[in-house]
Amino acid sequence: MNRLRKIFTLIVSVIMIGSLLGTGSIAEAVSVAAPTKITATATSDSVTLKWSKVSKASGYRVYLKQSGKWQKLKSQSAVSYTAKDLTASTTYTFGIKTYRKSGGKTYWAKLKTVKVKTKAMPDIKTPSATATKDSVTIKWDKVAGATGYRVYQYKNKKWVKIKSTTANKYTVKSLKSATTYKFKVKPYAKTDSGTVWGDTSKAVSVKTIDPTKTKITSCSAGTTSVSLKWSKVSGATGYRVSVLEKGEWKRVKSTTALSYKITGLDSNKEYSFAVRAYKKVGTKVTWYTQSNAVKVVTKAGESDLKAYRIEKYKSIFSSDVLYIKMSTNDPDMGTLPVEFARKNGSLAMKATLEGMDARIVYNKKEDKSYMIIDSLNMYMEMSKEDMESMDMQSIIEGMAITNVGDITVTQTTYGGKNAICESYTDTATGDKVNYYFIADELIASERIYPGAQTEKIDFVKISTSVDDSLFASPPWYYINMGAMTNS
């Protein structure tokens, strides 16, 4: 992934080049606009302002109106600002002024203002809820300044008050089993001028326990078997174990025990199992509620531990139609979401680095490459000669698995699931490379450099269906690298 690092370095360089253009290359009238939109979000002691980015602006100055006068808070290039240490239940007026520096002068736009009132008290967090078969206990964090709380329940398509309490928990009783209920909590404070209400919490949804529903307590896999254990259901005379096949539950075994071992399964394969209790009286059978399904992957057998998948993915990476979405954990760059695509010989890459979205697109027909910086609303047009250090063809081909030394295959786990790890040494670099598979699907790769640094890639999706959005037209404003070089 060394080429990826070069790409990200070039992305940062683009921003620097764009900032250095200034007014030296293009003659234009100096003007600056105010933000078209400002939003204000308040808590009890702070206000966060966000505003639309203004093209060609050098920065923004934030103001607060106090005693009829505008007070400067901060000058910055960012498009958000948080004012802190404010007073609850108070209305504030803020202003944003855009400015642009050019030719040693500073040009200002008109002041854009917004009014906002801070909340009466801090927000209440979403309550937690635990259930029995006929009750629900709701708990919530105490809110600073609150003297009490009102509990609401959703009934008959409306929220109904069920309790006011000074405690931070309440138990609702006499409920139906196996039924979903919703609750909210609203804090309040008694003051000399009356009751002040805080904002209502988000709703918490909870389902009372179904006493007839089986609960699987343990699930462990072997190479060709899976062992299940479940809790006892009161009144049940037996339990049926089922497996999901082609979207339908098929009977595996009926038993009076609280455990069963399913045998004769395929190795290195994902299965879904469920257990359902029943009661039999004479010839009459009453079926209870089936358990939640559990998914499990059987361990790999000797026949699975063969290094054939690397050859398989070589062909996928080298195909002309390709879409890969992955998350890398680069030792230098940290976690990066990256997408690659290939279509009809054209190549594309999309990445997010430090909050900045960027794309690189190579158009085979025109033999041109574009560096697109979405957050700056611009792109750079470059010829192949300008991109000697960033050959898109080599980047995609670099994803193919090459320079493979002797391969070893072992049974392991990845993400808590049974997995196969295929390892080899890159004969060109000496790096150790691991590929992880679950149920014959490539889910991750890992490269360990001689200095012990590790780069991991989680493959979110690999398919032969290209996401056309990666090849979308660039934004309207662009810098022609060739023109800059020649001028």
Give tens-digit pLDDT for 404-459: 888 999 999 998 889 999 999 999 888 999 999 988 888 899 999 887 788 888 88
pLDDT of 432: 93
pLDDT of 312: 81
Those residues with Cβ within 8 angstroms of residue 100's Cβ, 6 or more apart along the chain or in another chain: 30, 31, 32, 56, 57, 58, 106, 107
C-beta of residue 64 within 8 angstroms of C-beta of residue 83: yes
C-beta of residue 274 within 8 angstroms of C-beta of residue 213: no
* Section 114-141 average pLDDT: 95
pLDDT bracket for residue 389 (50, 70, 90): low
310-313 contact pairs (CB < 8 A, 24+): 310/401, 310/404, 310/407, 310/422, 310/424, 310/435, 313/401, 313/435, 313/442, 313/462
Single out the residue of 266, 313, 333 nearest to residue 433, CA to CA. Answer: 313
Give tens-digit pLDDT for 336-373: 888 888 888 888 888 876 666 778 888 888 777 777 76
- Is pTM beyond 0.75? Reply is no
Helix (H, G, I), strand (E, B) or coil at 470: helix
Residue 73 CA from chain centroid, whole number: 34
* Percent of the chain's residues with pLDDT above 70: 84
Cα angle 119, 124, 126 (rounded to 5 degrees) comes to 140
Q: Cβ–Cβ contacts within 10 Å for residue 145, how many?
A: 16
Pair of tokens at residue 323: 């879409």
Give tens-digit pLDDT for 304-342: 888 888 888 888 777 888 888 888 887 776 788 888 888
- Domains of the chain are 34-117 (2.60.40.10), 128-207 (2.60.40.10), 216-297 (2.60.40.10), 305-471 (2.50.20.20)
DSSP 9: H
Positive or negative, the Cα torsion across 363, 367, 373, 376? negative
Residue 423 CA from chain centroid, whole number: 29
pLDDT bracket for residue 134 (50, 70, 90): very high
Q: Which amino acid is at 27?
A: A
Helix (H, G, I), strand (E, B) or coil at 199: coil
CA distances from 99 to 59, 109, 241, 301 (A): 6, 6, 70, 67
Instruction: Report whether pLDDT(210) > 80.
Output: yes
